[in-house]
Amino acid sequence: MRNRPVPQSRKFDFFKAIACIALFAAGAIAARAQTADQAWLREPSHLVLFGKVIALGNSPIEQSAVKELSRSISHPASIKDASMLRAWHENWLTVIGTAEEVRKAYPHAPVPSGLAPGEYWIWSNGSNEHSLYVVAGGDERGALYGVFALLRYPLSGMTSPPEKLPSLHAQPLRSRPAMPIRWTDEWDNANGTVERGYGGRSIFFEGGKVRDDLSAVGEYARLLASVGINGCNVNNVNGAAPFLTPEMLQGLKRIADAMRPWGVRLAISVDIASPQKIGGLKTFDPLDPAVQAWWAAKVDEIYAQIPDFAGFTVKADSEGQAGPASYGRSPADAANLLAHALAPHGGVVLYRAFVYNNHLDYNDLKADRARAAYDIFHPLDGKFAANVIVQIKYGPIDFQAREPVSPLFAGLEKTNSAMELQITQEYTGQQRHLVYLAPMWKQILDFDLRADNRSTPVKEIIEGKSFHRPLGGMIGVSCVGRDGWLGAPLAMANLYAFGRLAWDPYNLPEQIAEEWTRQTINNDPHVVYVVAKMLMQSWPAYVDYTGPLGTQTLTDITGSHYGPNIEASERNGWGQWHRDDAQGIGMDRSVATGTGFAGQYPPEVAKMYESPATTPDDLLLFFHHVPYTYKLHSGETVIQYFYDSHYQGADEAAQLVAEWKTVRAMVDPKLYNDVLGRLEYQAGHAIVWRDAIVQYFLKESGIPDAKGRAGHYPGRMEAEDARLSGYKVIEVTPWEDASGGKAVTCDAGSAPKGCSAEWTYAGKAGHFDIAVQYFDQQGGVAHFSLDVNGKAIATWDADAKLPSRRPNGDNSTRFTTSEVELKPGDVLRVDGTPNASDPAALDYIEIEPAASAR
Ligand code: GCV
């Protein structure tokens, strides 16, 4: 062994080689079916650097850890010199095990005492001749998390070159999860659809049962484990009764088996009415002994097949789901019913506080959906069993682009609580828009509720610290699917960030963004800088062009939850109101004159939100109804802020495109083009949002934009003003989703060869970008072409997958062609050919000086 070549300065080489491999990864975005490679766990690994890798125990989790370090032994990035490889193998040893196993096998390794479950400690003996790396865990999961941390170490939060990182001998790595519950919730249905999922069909279910091929489930569990997620609830909280049938339980057992090697425990959503719906009982009253016996037997049946089953999630008395209210019982009665059945097996109940009446009276100025969770759950504080955790959405409404923190976090001092976040971007652009949510989550985690007039930031409440609760955590509604997990490559940063914040809510979103970029895209400093910057800009930009000042996302809340639709939130029972009228906007939630919601916060916070003068601008309209002329702390009026923020937000979205273009030469071309297409679409849709909101409030308030932009669109030529052949003018609903409220549409029946719209250009001669705004409706692929003086300039298909079969802000889409030469008198023509139910509807064209001429 001694006379074999031994690498020089191995400590340095260790990190250099890792850096090398990470750089090599730049061009290697794999396109294979549904593997973790499509996220941040890429093929290159570092086996040669760790020499021989062994597990001290036999558990499948430790075997996974070994596999993870060994994954790419044959990868071309591995050191190619065979003798050097052999030397490494023989002189370096990496051992993985629980603290107890390590102490037994290596009594000299200074394993610290008291490693907690999930905690890891990584150390090296510092020897040049016989290097030993130790990855010790508080339990097997801890050892696995340690391996992922070791692989990430040279890339994470790196501000200095890898070779300057401290040695693991002098400074062992040690970290423990901040909270015990770190789960994702998936809203998968047995038929294979995923509620609010934008990443394709279910990886778990198809055709009413568990899929035969669960390889993607194992890969998903690997991804989750890599960021410390330890539980996964696989089915929708709506319509959950079929998931407790014996046949389904057999399938669920297979899912649990696929996730177990990665330390991810299976949980399921249950319908509290199951005893009646599938159990043949006449009742599901939580206090009925027959119901209690049914649940006890059902839980025994589950644990007989899935001994490490994590527990149940419950949505009850909410949005049509049955609940204990049917029998005059409380959420605590229902939660405890399940908790008692689960307790002997070590399972928990995540009872969702998302309980509210969706038939509120809009005309009742005291009615307020935001109040519901606190009104219902606060009086029950202390009445929940020890293995119940109340799962609270971060805000009092429903995953809006911005909401205040739910006051219920401070309203449960004697009850375990956990925070529910949404990774899938239901109200935040549905993965078609780049919106990195970690900065919003961080604001929520850091928000100090000042319960009992002391420091009680949300993160410390859900960690269990503030009120000395044994259980707590974070749940991310993920809704992954078979199409690259979340359907868009950069959206994966949200899943990653969720795990990293659940592990440690003190982690910083910008650092997480860098860390994710290094692992997913590459380690080039410019790429890391640009992508992290883009991620960090994306949420504020989205808030700016959708719903600023706490109005929530001004979208179609009863339908798609996607495009602009300002009045959809109003005059219905759903309570997502912002109460705009000709004079002003906002919900008065003060105690003195409004719904009293502000009074649900602990006194210091309640006082801040009680008055418009002390409410932060970014939540003003959530708490107060004010005139459009009300002056913000910034000195601007509310209406001017609306105009400014929407123009700014749309500009920021355009900026994302420009920034991404700067990394072109440094990233995988397939990824580059994919992301570019998405960002260009987003920039166009941000203009749809901007124009809808700006023209709506211009009309509503009658107050002009001091900067002269709202209602004035130089270079825009409306389709309804064009010389039309075949096209018919229509009113668009809602009106604000089309420029001037109108569009033109082509009826295939009366114009089988298609329709056209023609304009004569009357501006200056020069080079221009021409944008065509059209509606890409569902149900067909319309075809468009643009020509100038009969010469074809561009053709394209309306083939995006967007919501709605009607023309509106969900599917209003912008096609832009650059550097077109125009002179006065030129004739521009758009031809639209309908296909199936897509009538090639058109809104306007807009001519802007080309980028080169600006
Ligand atoms: C699973 C929102 C979503 C629903 C979801 C619900 C919930 O209302 O739109 O799709 O239902 O939240 O969290 O239960």
Report yes or no: 804 and 560 within 8 Å, Cβ to Cβ: yes
Residues touching ligand 1 (Cβ under 6 Å) are 187, 195-196, 236-238, 315, 319, 354, 398, 426
The answer, yes or no, to whether residue 13 has pLDDT greater than 50, is no
Percentage with pLDDT > 70 across the chain: 92
The residue whose C-alpha atom lies closest to atom 11 belonging to ligand 1 is 238
Q: pLDDT tier at 42 (50, 70, 90 boundaries)?
A: confident
Q: Per residue, what are the HEC states of 488-550?
A: CHHHHHHHHHHHHHHHCCCCCHHHHHHHHHHHHCCCCHHHHHHHHHHHHHHHHHHHHHCCCCC
Protein residue with its CA nearest to atom 13 in ligand 1: 354
The mean per-residue pLDDT over the stretch 316-336 comes to 98
Q: What is the mean pLDDT of residues 233-245?
A: 98
The Cβ-side half-sphere exposure at 211, using a 13 Å CA radius, reads: 21
Which ligand 1 atom minimizes the distance to the CA of 420? Answer: 13
Cα 485 to Cα 75, 432, 490, 494, distances in angstroms: 24, 14, 11, 12
How, if at all, do strands 766-775 and 812-822 pair? antiparallel
Q: Just list the catalytic residues.
A: 319, 398, 426
How far is 312 from 350, CA to CA, in rounded Å? Answer: 6
pLDDT grade, residue 414 (50/70/90)? very high
So what's the pLDDT on residue 606?
Answer: 98
Instruction: Select from 603, 609, 640, 608 the least CA-distant residue to 622.
Output: 609
Per-residue pLDDT at 82: 66
The burial class, CB within 10 Å (0-12 / 13-18 / 19+), for 806 is middle
What's the CA gap between 848 and 854, in Å, rounded?
Answer: 9
Residue range 459-479: mean pLDDT, rounded: 98
The tokens for 446 are 């850091």
| Ligand 1 centroid – CA 620 distance (Å) | 25
Tokens of residue 793, six digits: 């300039």
Number of continuous H segments (helices) and E segments (strands) in the chain: 22, 28
pTM for this one? 0.95
CA of 559 to the centre of ligand 1 (A): 12
> Measuring CA to CA, which residue among 15, 25, 131 is closest to residue 76?
25
Q: Are the beta carbons of 421 and 476 closer than 8 angstroms?
A: yes
Average pLDDT for the chain: 92
Instruction: Report d(CA 725, CA 797) in Å as an integer.
Output: 20
Do 844 and 718 meet the contact criterion of CB atoms below 8 Å apart?
yes
How many angstroms separate the alpha carbon of residue 404 from the centre of ligand 1?
19
> Which residues does 361 contact at the CB level (< 8 Å), separation at least 6?
367, 573
Model pLDDT, residue 62: 98
Phi-psi domain of 442 (left: phi exceeds 0; alpha: psi -120 through 50; beta: other): alpha
**Burial (Cβ within 10 Å: 0-12, 13-18, ≥19) of residue 275:** buried
Comparing CA positions, the residue from 452, 453, 342 lying closest to residue 389 is 342
pLDDT band for position 250 (50/70/90)?
A: very high
Centroid of ligand 1 to alpha carbon of 219 (angstroms): 26
pLDDT at 127 (0 to 100) = 81
Instruction: Kindly tell me if the per-residue pLDDT of 167 is higher than 90.
Output: no
pLDDT at 157 over 80: no
pLDDT of residue 835: 96
Query: Which amino acid belongs to residue 742?
Result: K
Q: Which ligand 1 atom minimizes the distance to the CA of 561?
A: 9
pLDDT, one tens digit per residue, over 622-632 is 999 999 999 99
Are 457 and 448 within 8 A, CB to CB? yes
pLDDT tens-digit map of 336-356? 999 999 999 999 999 999 999
Ligand 1 pocket mutation, candidates 196, 318, 553, criterion most atoms within 8 A of CB: 196
Binned at pLDDT 50, 70 and 90, residue 9 comes out as: very low
Average confidence (pLDDT) over 622-643: 98
Beta carbons of 593 and 441 less than 8 angstroms apart: no
669 vs 127: CA distance, rounded Å = 43
Distance 195 CA to ligand 1 centre (A): 8
Is there a contact between 801 and 560 (Cβ–Cβ < 8 Å)?
Answer: no
pLDDT over 90, % of the chain: 86
Interatomic CA distance for residues 128 and 534, integer angstroms = 42
CA–CA distances in Å: residue 754 to residues 16, 720, 792, 798, 832: 61, 16, 16, 14, 6
Q: What is the mean pLDDT of residues 489-496?
A: 98
pLDDT per residue as tens digits for the range 802-826: 999 999 999 999 999 999 999 999 9
Q: Tell me the C-alpha distance between 331 and 376, whole Å.
A: 8
Strand partners, 835: 838
Q: Is residue 1 scored above 70 in pLDDT?
A: no
Nearest-atom index, ligand 1, CA of 426: 9
- How sure is the predictor about 160, in pLDDT bands with cuts at 50, 70 and 90? very low
| Rounded CA separation 539/439 (Å) | 7
Distance CA 726, CA 37 (A): 49
For residues 852 and 368, what is the distance between their CA atoms, to the nearest angstrom?
52
User: Which pLDDT does position 752 carry in this prediction?
Assistant: 86
* Continuous H helices in 236-330: 246-259, 274-277, 289-305
Q: What is the β-pairing status of strands 348-352 and 231-235?
A: unpaired
Q: 3-state DSSP call for residue 588?
A: coil
> For residue 66, what pLDDT band results from cuts at 50, 70 and 90?
very high
- What was the pLDDT predicted at 159? 46
Tokens representing 309 are 């089953």
The reported pLDDT for the residue numbered 91 is 77
| Residue 163 pLDDT | 53
Give the residue whose CA is nearest to atom 12 of ligand 1: 398
CA-to-CA distance for 268 and 573, rounded, in angstroms? 30
**For residue 196, which atom of ligand 1 is closest to its CA?**
10
| Spacing, Cα 369 to ligand 1 middle (Å) | 14
Please report the atom of ligand 1 found closest to the CA of residue 477. Answer: 13
pLDDT at 28: 37
Ligand 1 centre distance from Cα of residue 243 (Å):
18
Distance CA 471, CA 182 (A): 11
Q: In testing the pocket of ligand 1, which one of 321, 358, 398, 553 has its CB within 8 Å of the most ligand atoms?
A: 398
Q: Could you give the CA distance from residue 74 to residue 46 in angstroms, rounded to a whole number?
A: 10
Note the pLDDT of residue 144.
Answer: 98
94 residue type, one letter = T
Which pLDDT tens digit goes with each residue over 669-717? 999 999 999 999 999 999 999 999 999 999 999 999 999 999 999 999 9
C-alpha angle 235/236/237, rounded to 5°?
Answer: 120
Residues 711-750 have pLDDT tens digits of 999 999 999 999 999 999 999 999 999 999 999 999 988 8
| Residue 135 · residue 120 · CB < 8 Å | yes
